[in-house]
Amino acid sequence: MAGMVAVSRGRPPRVSMQEHMAIDVSPGPIRPIHLISDYFPHFYPFTKHSLPTLDPHPAVTPAIHSAPQLQPDPEPEGDSDDSTALGTLEFTLLFDADNSALHCTAHCAKGLKPPASGSVDTYVKANLLPGTSKASQLRTRTVRGTRGPVWEETLTYHGFTCQDAGRKTLRLCVCEDPRLRRRRRAPPLGELRVPLRKLVPNRARSFDVCLEKRKLTKRPKSLDTARGMSLYEEDEVEAAGEERGRILLSLCYSSQQGGLLVGVLRCAHLAPMDANGYSDPFVRLFLHPNVGKRSKYKTSVRKKTLNPEFNEEFFYAGPREELAQKTLLVSVWDYDLGTADDFIGGVQLSSQAGGECQQHWCECLGRSDCRLELWHPLDGTPLQLSD
């Protein structure tokens, strides 16, 4: 019996489960924690295992190895705050106020990081916001097989006025071309936005800006009926439904021919009317009132475009005093085969029109052999004029 007592006294006392759960949980200074196996021993059916005697004053070295100091987890690579994580884009902007045009020259990109390893085929896509996505969408050519592409290509927005510069923003996206490698369409590698109110007219400004991630937000179903609009709800939604586009007209009263020359030069940022997000636009001209002479003209149709270029001219014979009492109605339509054409927008030029339309009309008839060109915004309300 004495021997058994001695053996039991040589063993370390067993620790109950309640004591296990209460170890080192009391508040106080931080101490090195022992190995977890010291507190939760393994039991084997064929061997006898005893808990080792815990040293109340453990050495410093084992404590350091057994309880390494916790380090903060590094942030994921995609969420890094490093501004150059997605690369940079170099470009130049020039607002040509004399010709009502905005020129964007995409020079090059550096340090692009595509999602897949290896080379990448990239291009630059530009949009004016707010506005219809495809109406103001321009893109460069695709440069293949490099993470530092060089484009040196200029994208031009015609019909860009001082009012547009004060309220619009240019969005530039560096995109991967999925057609060349038979991949699905992927989100842009990066994008940036430039408020155009900072531009000085007729003065070029160069940029070297870091690309950022694009945040995609699905547009509510209530706006899905507006065909051709962007699928992403951002600040371009506000005025996208209000703009119908604009048209560039030239007026000249020819003293030699004895009549008015009306030139339909081009349209810009037209509203999309087809399901594919584009239109097949053409322009109709009507001089009211009709006195029996030919007063209706129509341009040719430009297929699948929202920025058509016509460069067609039409002639209305008559003295200057008689033309001053008439009204010229210019309307833009979307051609539909087999169904009625869709009205896109129109503009009315007369001495009673008011604003720039009246100024353009009166100034043209007040001069001879002087061609005047001016951009006119399109009105979405059809004008009904009887013959």
Class of residue 136 by CB neighbours under 10 A (exposed 0-12, middle 13-18, buried 19+): buried
Residue showing tokens 């916001």: 129
- pLDDT tens readout for residues 70-103: 443 333 333 344 445 789 999 999 999 999 999 9
The superfamily (CATH) of domain 245-378 is: C2 domain (2.60.40.150)
Q: How confident is the model at residue 116 (pLDDT cuts 50, 70, 90)?
A: low
Largest Cα–Cα separation, the chain: 140
Class of residue 216 by CB neighbours under 10 A (exposed 0-12, middle 13-18, buried 19+): exposed
CB-CB contact of 126 with 160 (8 Å): no
The pLDDT assigned to 32 comes to 59
Q: Is the pLDDT of residue 65 over 60?
A: no
Give mean pLDDT, residues 243-249. Answer: 90
- pLDDT tens readout for residues 354-371: 889 999 999 999 988 999
The pLDDT assigned to 359 comes to 93
Query: Structure tokens of 337?
Result: 């085969």
Domain map (residue ranges) of the chain:
87-211, 245-378
In this structure, whether the domain defined by 87-211 belongs to CATH 3.60.20.40 is answered with no
- Higher-scoring residue by pLDDT: 263, 2: 263
Q: Is the pLDDT of residue 113 over 90?
A: no
Q: Is the pLDDT of residue 5 over 70?
A: no
Report how far residue 138's alpha carbon sits from residue 156's, in angstroms, rounded to the nearest whole number. 8
Report how far residue 259's alpha carbon sits from residue 368's, in angstroms, rounded to the nearest whole number. 10
Same fold, 87-211 and 245-378: yes
